[in-house]
Amino acid sequence: MLSTNELAGVYDALLSMPGMNEKVKVNLNLSRKDALLLGCLIKKSTAGKEGEKAGIILDNLSAENLKELGVYADEILSKSEMTDVSIKLTSLGGSRKE
């Protein structure tokens, strides 16, 4: 079993391989429900609070990569016409006491 640092090194090596920054076209046919869930999941994962662990891959991404993922989430929500729903759900979740 790999330690957390070793696993982070493996992910870093994979993400640094030649060709990993090349653009690829992905054609997805998602239901609006799945688009909403995917968009919200990406946004929540990339907007972690200071000191909060998001996962070994996200914890090792640069701020630029996290911002790019956020752009993808916005695009998914926009194309599925779920941006307003996402915003309203986020505002409801923000008023929750934990």
By C-alpha distance, which of 13, 80, 72, 9 is closest to 43? 72
Vertex 45: Cα angle to 43 and 51 (nearest 5)? 125
Mean pLDDT comparison of 1-5, 14-18, 93-97, highest-scoring range: 14-18
pLDDT of residue 50: 58
* Higher pLDDT, residue 96 or 56: 56
Query: Cβ(43)–Cβ(87) under 8 Å?
Result: no
Residue whose token pair is 């090349």: 22
14-46 per-position pLDDT tens digit = 888 999 989 999 888 999 999 999 999 998 888
